[in-house]
Amino acid sequence: MDAGGGKKGGVKSDINVTPLVDIVLVLLIIFIVITPAVNSSVKLPLAKHSPKAEKNKDEKYLTLMLTSKRNDKWEVTGPGPILIDDKDAKDEAFFITNDAQKQKLEDYINRNVSQLSQKVVFVKADADLPFKYVNELFQVCRKGGADEASIVTSEDKDVKEGGK
């Protein structure tokens, strides 16, 4: 390889691509290693709203509200009382952590669902509450005679107000 300015060919001005290829390969390996770690750590929030369900205005439904128990730092520590979303039953409260209260809730669901044409129970739960408590409430609803239990979500306030 001629590096000098001899008479035969003159000065060569070729670029040495070996270091460039080395750098590109190292960057490619870094991106291949980092990409799965970044993708697995992303948490996606649940939908804050859903399309409005078409309800028959004359039909009545049983709606249960599962609240959460929180500590001083406002962290969820477990399920709170289950409230009935009905103006006639505002004083009713049940707990799924107690077996006697679970049985009492099953009996309440059975009494109310048996009077409905569609044996459907709607559940409103706090968004921060782990799903295992909501699932436990679903099982209580099933034992209480409900054919179907559905989660009710609230509308997104930004969409409702015409925001983004």
8 Å CB contact between 134 and 83: no
List the domain range (segments joined by +) for residue 140: 62-157
The answer to whether residue 15 sits within a structural domain is: no
Q: Please report whether residue 26 resides in a domain.
A: no
Q: Encoding tokens for residue 89? A: 């039953």
Go through the chain and tell me how many residues it has.
Answer: 164
Q: Is residue 86 part of a domain?
A: yes
Q: Could you tell me if residue 57 is inside a domain?
A: no
- For residue 2, tell me if it sits in a domain: no
pLDDT of residue 131: 85
Is residue 49 domain-resident? no
Instruction: Report yes or no on 33 lying in a domain.
Output: no
- Rounded to 10 deg, the angle between the 131-143 and 99-113 helix axes is 60
pTM over 0.95: no
Q: CA 87 to CA 92: how far, in whole Å?
A: 10
Is residue 16 in some structural domain? no
Render each residue's pLDDT in the chain as its tens digit; 164 residues: 555 555 666 777 888 899 999 999 999 999 998 887 766 555 555 555 445 555 555 667 788 888 888 888 888 888 888 888 776 666 678 888 888 888 988 888 888 888 888 888 888 888 888 888 888 888 888 888 888 888 887 665 555 555 54
pLDDT at 30: 92
Number of domains the chain is built from? 1
What span, in angstroms and rounded, lies between the C-alpha atoms of 127 and 47?
Answer: 10
CA–CA dist 107, 103 (Å, integer): 6
What is the reported pLDDT for 115?
Answer: 83
